[in-house]
Chains A and B, each alone.
Chain A
Amino acid sequence: MGNRISHGVEGHRQGERRAPKVIVFACRWCALIGADGAGKKRVQLPLDFRVIPVECAARVEPDSIIRAFSYGIEGVGVLGCHLGGCRYHNANHRAIKRLDLLKKLLATVGIDSGRLLTSFGTGHEYHQFAGILKDFFQELRGLPPLDEWARAATIDAIKV
């Protein structure tokens, strides 16, 4: 839909492969504040992340994380409040358990569980948020691109 603009490529040095795409589900009670702080402090961040604010980390459906991967998004972050700091009476405990299990599934099918970043109570301060994000991009760059998943699904792969 609508026009398309090519972008993101300048985000990093020439010759480097295109930066991984990242979606961040940010709890509006902490990580979103961290993100906002990073902006206020004008911390320069990699281009290719998009923040989706949510009421609570526990609201994030695993399905939407999986769907993100299926769209070719290479990293998904779920950032919530620290244990005991959830505004919704330990709702984030449930998120932790659930996402931990989701990582197991991703790992099973060879999607590095590092692609799902779950972090609780660590993104509230602007420098924390920026740090987490930069490290995440760093880690993702270290992984084989996710679209190999689709590419792997050709017969030549059978030979390995």
Chain B
Amino acid sequence: MNVEFVKTTCPYCGTGCGLVLQVRDGRVVGNYPDRDHPVSKGSLCIKGWSAHEFIHHPERLTAPLLRKGETFHPIPWDEAIDLVVERLGRTAETHGGDAIGGLCSAKCTNEENYLFQKLIRAGFQTNNVEHCARLCHGPTVAGMSQALGSGAMTNSIKDFGGAECILIMGSNAAETFPIVMGEIYRARDRGARLMVVDPRATEVAKNSHIHLQIRSGTDIPLICGMMRHILDHSLEDRAFIAARTQGFETLNEYLGGWTVERAAKECDLDGDRIREAAETYATATEAFVVFCMGITQHACGTANVLAICDLALLCGHVGKEYSGVCPLRGQCNVQGACDMGGLPDVYPGYQRVSEPRIKKKFEHAWGRELSDRPGLTVTEAIGSGGGDIRSVYIMGENPVMSDPNRNKTIAFLKQLDFLVVQDIFPTETTQFAHLLLPGACFAEKTGTFTNTERRIQLLRKAVDSPGEARDDFTILCMIGKAMGLDFDYRHPSEVMDEVASLTPLYGGVHFHRLSPGGLQWPCPADDHPGTPFLHKENFTRGKGLFVVPEYTPPVESPDQDYPYIFITGRMFCHYHTGTMTRRSPSLSRETDKPFVEINPVDAARIGIRTGDAVRVSTRRDAIVTTARITERVSGGSIFAAFHFFEAPADALTIDALDPVSKIPEFKVCAANLRKEKSDGVS
């Protein structure tokens, strides 16, 4: 018998915790926290602890599957590869490269994402490369790069511990980033003030000193009100503003139109709470703003992010070890997928496709002609109802579950000429595919993830993939070679070396430098130690830029037909579309039932008790789910987690987009609620 312990990185959220997989005779039999990991320090959340449970699940895809009518049939790899090349090629010939779309994956490694976008860009002269970052931190990337020059979390997770004040906006970190939350509690233990902005009374809110329970989508009024108050009492950091920022005047003017009272009215809060919050944040010597989907998933997402940057710049709370603006990135490698150019407008390292100099560099490196037209975002592509996009290659994504207005998404997928999906399990999306390619899960591959604090960490292969399944690196190389691209890499490390040579951010990143502990980018050179926090002397863009955050209220607001505000989000024991967590026994044991949170007052009015079946409907669609009566949601709003295919919350969500980042407004739409006669679910 052979027992091994393999250190690797957790495949769930962006915290990037360290796992030690216990392997026996080629099977992962256990999973323990890594005691000397820089981020997780021997802890894990419930998902991390059960990260190994789905690896050997019987439903894993184990061979390429070709659709014949309604069913799928296994075919050999070479056939599958030829088919992909042939079909995509045909589309490109007949409709041009821009008729090809590719979704890479925040669940795949940097190397795989790099190869994927290289495949699409070099292979078909199109920039239609996208992934789910669009749906979480699109606005963050857009907003923060505009204001600060970089879209990433400015600091390291450990820095939270040193702050005096932490303002958490639209993040239920206790459920979604438990390990980060631990660091925030550490700060609280040392006397830091916690302030939480959230329409729901989440655990984070309950454990904070100030909970600003705003009306959904009124973050900008709140922040403007705070900034107004800060200026009125001249609590702003004049020196910082003078030395390191520009555009203060325009903002100042704009804020003239704002008063705490007006803000209070918009958010329906008590003005004094806003004042208290403003003073607490401004007077702290070291302060963080931590934010997440509650900020970004709005039609005004980018403006929200800009407002946050303004607030931070105004008080000089950025560019220091214990101060900063910290988006918590959702997926284990969503940061990396963005870094690797999994976006329609940039090459790896956020180098604009529209910039001729950059284009040249990559054309030279890849030996192919490239397109300078930014590609379509996934939301635009689907929103357009298709037509321009004829064939799609999806690697490890499940848009049917994750994208808004599900019916539209399905319609889009159905009208495609060719859809190839590469995944480890059958998903709601794979059922619309023409071809399925069996990929490898985190325990079966070598590569790197970049976590939310820009830490590039190694993934170490522990076991072989089941059956014919191949790790996505190999699959991409097979396709690339078949298309005649220079894809003969022997090992993912060679890909990372290529990345290093082309992107300054990763300039000094090589596998041999990554253990233990990994490296935090920017790491421009081989002798560069990495960067724990950004914008120290200068902002990446030089000076910090104040941008006016134009306030636009939510697209849909409650009316008599749809009297409730419908909020979507996550819960502690499941992850995103549930492809992995719903197949993990201990997580399913915890909850395997969709639910909707309803405030006791509303519940009493409609006569609903916990456990009752209820029908939630919006202008898009309706779902039947189980009621959970709780004061976590305030009267007039209801909340549903989007992990459950039985009652997909995203059948209901609205596909109104943020003009800049094209993120949909997942967090607010109008919904109706009624008791379902039969105990439909239970």
Binding site for B on A (CB under 8 A): 153-155, 158
Known A155-B206, A155-B207, A155-B208; 7 more pairs at CB < 8 Å: A153-B206, A154-B206, A154-B207, A155-B194, A155-B209, A158-B188, A158-B209
10 example contacts (A-B, Cβ-Cβ < 8 A) are as follows A153-B206, A154-B206, A154-B207, A155-B194, A155-B206, A155-B207, A155-B208, A155-B209, A158-B188, A158-B209
Residue of A whose beta carbon sits closest to that of B189: A158
Contacts of B209 in A (CB 8 A): 155, 158
Q: A154 CA to B209 CA in the complex, in Å? A: 9
Q: What is the CB-to-nearest-CB distance from B607 to chain A, in angstroms, rounded to a whole number?
A: 13
Contact flags B182-196 to A (C-beta < 8 A → 1, else 0)? 000000100000100
Q: What is the CB-to-nearest-CB distance from B182 to chain A, in angstroms, rounded to a whole number?
A: 16
Contacts of B207 in A (CB 8 A): 154-155
Report the tally of A-B residue pairs with Cβ distances under 8 A: 10
Contacts of A153 in B (CB 8 A): 206
The total of chain B residues at the interface (CB under 8 A) is 6
Q: A158 CA to B208 CA in the complex, in Å? A: 10
Q: What is the CB-to-nearest-CB distance from B551 to chain A, in angstroms, rounded to a whole number?
A: 30
Residue of A whose beta carbon sits closest to that of B208: A155
Q: What is the CB-to-nearest-CB distance from A133 to chain B, in angstroms, rounded to a whole number?
A: 33
Across the A-B interface, the 4 shortest Cβ-Cβ residue pairs: A155-B209, A155-B207, A155-B208, A154-B206
Q: What is the CB-to-nearest-CB distance from A59 to chain B, in angstroms, rounded to a whole number?
A: 28
Q: Name B172-228 residues within 8 Å CB distance of A.
A: 188, 194, 206-209
Q: A154 CA to B194 CA in the complex, in Å? A: 13
Contact flags B406-425 to A (C-beta < 8 A → 1, else 0)? 00000000000000000000
Q: A6 CA to B209 CA in the complex, in Å? A: 36
Contacts of A154 in B (CB 8 A): 206-207
Contacts of B194 in A (CB 8 A): 155
Contacts of A158 in B (CB 8 A): 188, 209
Residue of A whose beta carbon sits closest to that of B609: A1
Contacts of A155 in B (CB 8 A): 194, 206-209
Q: What is the CB-to-nearest-CB distance from B200 to chain A, in angstroms, rounded to a whole number?
A: 16
Q: What is the CB-to-nearest-CB distance from B209 to chain A, in angstroms, rounded to a whole number?
A: 6
Q: What is the CB-to-nearest-CB distance from A158 to chain B, in angstroms, rounded to a whole number?
A: 8
Q: What is the CB-to-nearest-CB distance from B185 to chain A, in angstroms, rounded to a whole number?
A: 11
Q: A153 CA to B206 CA in the complex, in Å? A: 9
Residue of A whose beta carbon sits closest to that of B196: A155
Residue of B whose beta carbon sits closest to that of A159: B209
Q: A155 CA to B208 CA in the complex, in Å? A: 6
Q: A153 CA to B207 CA in the complex, in Å? A: 8
Q: What is the CB-to-nearest-CB distance from A153 to chain B, in angstroms, rounded to a whole number?
A: 8
Q: What is the CB-to-nearest-CB distance from A147 to chain B, in angstroms, rounded to a whole number?
A: 14
Contacts of B208 in A (CB 8 A): 155
Residue of B whose beta carbon sits closest to that of A154: B206
Q: A155 CA to B168 CA in the complex, in Å? A: 15
Q: What is the CB-to-nearest-CB distance from A160 to chain B, in angstroms, rounded to a whole number?
A: 14
Q: What is the CB-to-nearest-CB distance from A141 to chain B, in angstroms, rounded to a whole number?
A: 28
Which of A153, A154, A155 has the most CB atoms of chain B within a 10 A radius of its CB? A155
Q: A154 CA to B207 CA in the complex, in Å? A: 6
Q: A154 CA to B201 CA in the complex, in Å? A: 12
Q: A154 CA to B205 CA in the complex, in Å? A: 10
Contacts of B188 in A (CB 8 A): 158
Q: What is the CB-to-nearest-CB distance from B210 to chain A, in angstroms, rounded to a whole number?
A: 9
Contact flags B10-39 to A (C-beta < 8 A → 1, else 0)? 000000000000000000000000000000
Q: What is the CB-to-nearest-CB distance from A45 to chain B, in angstroms, rounded to a whole number?
A: 32
Residue of A whose beta carbon sits closest to that of B207: A155
Residue of B whose beta carbon sits closest to that of A156: B209
